[in-house]
Chains A and B, each alone.
Chain A
Amino acid sequence: MVSLWCLTFGLSAQSKCDLTLSGQVVDEHDGSALGFANVFIENSSVGTISDASGYYSIAGICPGVHVVVCSHVGCEPVRDTLLIEDHAIHNFYPEHHAELLDGISIVESSREPNIVSIKTRVPMLDRSAGKSLGQSLEGISGVSSLSTGNSISKPIIHGLHSNRILVINNGVRQEGQQWGNEHAPEIDAFIAGEIQVYKGAQSVRFGPDAIGGVILVMPKSLPDSFGIAGGLAGSWQSNGLGGSGNMYFEGRAKKIPAFRWRAQGSAKRLGDADAPEYVLTNTGIEELNFSLNASFGDQKKGIEVFYSQFNTNLGILSASHIGNLTDFQRALEADEPLVVKPFSYAINRPYQHVEHELFKASAHVKTKNDRNVGVVYSRQYNLREEYDTHKGAQADAPGLQFEIVTHGLDVTLENKKTANHDWQFGASGLIQENTFEGRYFIPAFRKGSVGVFGLDQMQINSNWSIEFGGRMDYVEQSFFFYNQVKTERRNHSYAQPSVTAGLIRKFGSSWHWKLNTANSWRPPSANELYSNGLHHGAASFEIGDTNLRKEVSYSLNTELTFQGEHIQIESEAYLNFMDGFVYLVPEFPATLTIRGAFPTFSYGQTTALLYGLDNQIRYKIKPWIEMISRTSILRARDLESGNWIIQMPSDQSALSIEFSGKIQDYSMYVAPSVKWVNKQWRVPSNSDYSPPPAGYVLANVIAGVSRTTRLGDTQLSLEINNLLNQQYRNYMNRYRYYADEIGRNIIVRIAHHF
């Protein structure tokens, strides 16, 4: 698989072979210098070994495009394609056991025991260009998505989503309106140079809400090589007759080596998607995003600013916006959605308009005894406008609008590998303000929180290492209610510690065993406390409970991995005991309104137990054939009633066989795959409008070719999803009541990176 990315180079007959390439070899994960790493030009005898501080210098390089390979004991070799026209500086960031998965490589970090992280390469070169963040994570075992049609998708880790998952975008907690099932993360997937998924509770490092796990979205680091580089990527798909495009430029001037920058912009436009038998009317997407990033400084000290904007319009399936239970019953009984119109790019009511803006300024200083001090300030602005089918008094105004502004400050002190200790201390603070206009769903609120934490990872000997940490958080929320005469204010405050402890045991060079136990928590969210109203599209009346306690989780994760010459096995088992698990309880009788009767739900709390298994096997049958199988099993029980918990992903498996090879300068691959999703029959009785849909098997295929020349890397890929144009419905899609999933989708992607 790695061979896929081994790009060829043209040995150009240049006369002056007197250039030098120098830089440092740094551990991808903890930033420590890697001494005695091999650095050499591929297919040549030119090379060197880095010194004890990781620095290297290679002389006698001819101008041209070179593949420079850096390898280090215990790390997968890094191959970087560089255009060297002058003396150049380039740093290498090797990582442990890098493997590729759907254009995404699984990285097992030695730093934190229960990390299973994934890494995408340069996003324009990967296989998921044009997919949303939620969709691009679906290939990871234990991660699935909760979707609202094809346009809105949010990640689920081990059965948990929304407020129980934390998304860290560029080192900053993503703060929008995460509570909503139909509120997708407001992040441009093209920004991600690397995505890491931490499965299991992670409150100690990242703060409240990280009960199910954490998704770290990191832009690729600013360029090391001098000059201006950039890239273009585009995708086009048959289902929705549209596509996306991304462009970026980055640079570092030789005159000001401390200054690095990048500017990036992307756009997306899709029309109505197609189910096999009908058009899914009003499911188009429009997206327009950009980001600017600049840093000044070096490894020892530096400052960085980052700014990004995400803007989108998301069509809501016309047939899913219903007025009352009678409409809903009618929609359920119909074989086809009740509104089907010819294909169109237009996004009409109902739709969502979402904007997200992130500004981040950070500084870091390395102290004399090699400790890192980092400070990050961030400001986020999030606007969510929901346009109902109905127009209000002002025809262009949304029916409901939220604006949320968040200021965050994080300070961390890190110590890298001294006396086998790797510790980290930090403090973080957050101030947030939410306002709304339009019909009431959740109140305006202010939120403030502070937290302090400490983590230590200790290498006991070559076989054992342990990790432990603790954190204390204080969260205060004030909610504002306006009742014509005066504003009423209600305060809720929470203080809660979190702890974590873990160990890694190595058995020889092939076997690894990890065990981690942690607790995590979150305060109840605004909708759980104070929602009181009709949930459009869900045809239900939701009532909050102001007496909800905090939700606390105690989890145990264990993972066994085997890394052999041809075979790699990763098996993970987890157990998550949740005290005060917030869920919706059906209430009787239904609420009678002028629109008819609505089933009514109120928020309640129970004790829940979630447990499951994730398993992945990769088998290299031949150097050019690899088989990958993934299986996820999850059980979720309400321990008080003995019922299953609603809306949990069912058991699923995926199998793919990847053929890869190289003909002359062209690297190519073909990977057919099948995915099986079982029917979710583990559901509570009498709490859903219709039974879960049947299980299904989907066939997909992806093929690609890439080539590197003096002009840069070029990649071309063709993907066909739902190859057999199968009709099916997915339990985890909120549109399952109204319409089938999208049918066959042919996606063409092209990327050029120079």
Chain B
Amino acid sequence: MKSSNVLLFIIMSTLVLSSCKRDDDEPDDPHNHNEEELITTVELQLHATDGTHASAHWSDVDGPGGDYPIIDTLVLDTNKTYSLHIEFLDESGDEVHDLTHEIEEEGSEHIVCYDETIDELSITRTDSDGVYEIGLTSDWVTTNASSGNVTISLKHQPGVKDGTCTPGETDVEVVFPTLIE
């Protein structure tokens, strides 16, 4: 073989070699540049027209698995109208991140759904993304004493929001035991 051929071969191999992709991470240095927002806590703040106040929270600070979540019972008075502010928080780190305003900004991709198994309670969303309701605020009207569950879910519906809770992916689905007394 001529030396020029060998040279050609070496050049070609080098070209091929140098185009190889490299990964720059060491396995003992795992890091997460792109932490997905993790919702650990749902907080309900209810203010009645007469100034009375109720609240409850559902939190799973260590994320899925591990410790069992802490779930409050929501206690409401009979025959009242409350206005609810719902907050979604990330309490997994040292600082608490409030993710509610992000949901509000992306209101056209989100909807909060309320599903109550109590006849004595009716819930209606009071806010809007311009076309459909979002549900970060809502009115809760109670009648007689009762008890049951309220399931609150946050749906992520990018491009598929139609005002219902059917399409999309569920980001949050929590059940609050509720007592009207």
Contact = CB atoms under 8 A, between A and B. Distances in A.
Contact of A393 (B5, B37, B65, B159): B37
B131 interface: no
Q: Which of A381, A487, A489, A595: most chain B Cβ within 10 A?
A: A595
Contacts of B27: 433-435, 444-446, 478, 480
Contact of B68 (A323, A592, A595): A592
Interface in B8-52: 8-9, 12-13, 16-17, 19-23, 25-37, 39-42
A573 B166 CA distance: 49
Q: Which of B22, B36, B156: most chain A Cβ within 10 A?
A: B36
B42 to A, nearest CB: 7
Given A259-B9, A321-B169, A489-B28, A339 B160 contact: yes
A389 B171 CA distance: 11
Contacts of B30: 435-437, 443-444, 480, 482
Given A405-B23, A482-B30, A359 B1 contact: no
B23 A361 contact: no
B127 interface: no
A340 B41 CA distance: 32
Q: Which of B5, B20, B155: most chain A Cβ within 10 A?
A: B20
B123 interface: no
Contact of A532 (B19, B36, B65, B158): B65
Contacts of A394: 33-34
A258 B9 CA distance: 11
A258 B1 contact: yes
Nearest to A355: B21
Contacts of B25: 403, 435, 437, 444
Contacts of A348: 159
Given A359-B16, A594-B58, A327 B169 contact: yes
Contact of A389 (B42, B63, B158): B158
A303 B10 CA distance: 11
B16 A438 contact: no
Contacts of A513: none
A136 B28 CA distance: 39
A192 interface: no
B156 A390 contact: yes
A55 interface: no
Contact of A361 (B13, B37, B171): B13
Contacts of A256: 1-2, 5
B133 interface: no
Contacts, number: 173
A434 B30 CA distance: 10
Contacts of A456: none
A157 interface: no
B42 A390 contact: no
Contacts of A259: 5, 8-9
B166 A330 contact: yes
Contacts of A389: 156, 158, 169
B151 to A, nearest CB: 9
B64 interface: yes
B65 A541 contact: yes
Nearest to A295: B9
A312 to B, nearest CB: 15
B126 to A, nearest CB: 24
A322 B40 CA distance: 19
A405 B97 CA distance: 36
A322 B169 contact: yes
Interface in B155-169: 155-156, 158-160, 166-169
A735 B39 CA distance: 28
A256 B1 CA distance: 8
Contacts of B158: 349, 389
Contact of B65 (A379, A390, A591): A591
A593 B39 CA distance: 10
A324 B170 contact: yes
A615 B147 CA distance: 64
Contacts of B20: 307, 357, 359, 379, 381
B20 to A, nearest CB: 6
Contacts of A392: 34-37
A227 interface: no
Nearest to B174: A594
A603 to B, nearest CB: 15
Contacts of A305: 12-13, 16
B28 A595 contact: no
A593 B60 contact: yes
A376 to B, nearest CB: 15
A292 interface: yes
Contacts of B41: 594
Given A259-B5, A296-B1, A445-B27, A323 B16 contact: no
A338 B16 CA distance: 47
Nearest to B1: A258
B69 interface: yes
A541 B65 CA distance: 9
A571 B174 CA distance: 57
B21 A444 contact: no
Contacts of B160: 318, 339
Contacts of A261: 12
Contacts of B13: 294, 305, 361
Contacts of B60: 592-594
Given A444-B27, A595-B171, A292 B64 contact: no
Given A392-B34, A480-B27, A595 B173 contact: yes
A388 B16 contact: no
Contact of B64 (A296, A339, A403, A534): A534
A357 B21 contact: yes
A383 interface: yes
B141 interface: no
Contacts of A480: 27-28, 30
Contact of B69 (A383, A434, A444, A594): A594
A341 B65 CA distance: 35
Contacts of A359: 16-17, 20
A346 to B, nearest CB: 11
B56 interface: no
Contacts of B32: 437-439
Nearest to B58: A594
Contacts of A258: 1, 5
A323 B167 CA distance: 11
B172 interface: yes
Given A435-B26, A480-B30, A482-B30, A595 B170 contact: yes
Interface in A298-341: 303, 305, 307, 318, 321-324, 326-327, 330, 338-339, 341
Given A258-B1, A399-B34, A405-B23, A294 B173 contact: no
Contacts of A349: 158
A691 interface: no
Given A256-B5, A383-B21, A487-B28, A594 B65 contact: no
Nearest to A445: B27
A397 interface: yes
Nearest to B63: A593
Contacts of A326: 153, 170, 173
A693 interface: no
Contacts of B28: 444, 480, 482, 487, 489
13 contacts: A323-B156, A326-B153, A339-B160, A359-B16, A379-B20, A381-B20, A381-B23, A389-B158, A438-B32, A438-B34, A438-B35, A480-B30, A594-B40
Given A359-B17, A445-B27, A596-B173, 14 more contacts: A307-B19, A359-B20, A397-B33, A398-B34, A399-B34, A399-B36, A433-B23, A433-B26, A444-B30, A482-B28, A482-B30, A482-B31, A533-B65, A594-B172
| The 3 nearest A-B residue pairs measured at CB | A323-B170, A596-B173, A444-B27
Interface of B: 1-2, 5-6, 8-9, 12-13, 16-17, 19-23, 25-37, 39-42, 58-60, 63-65, 68-69, 153, 155-156, 158-160, 166-174
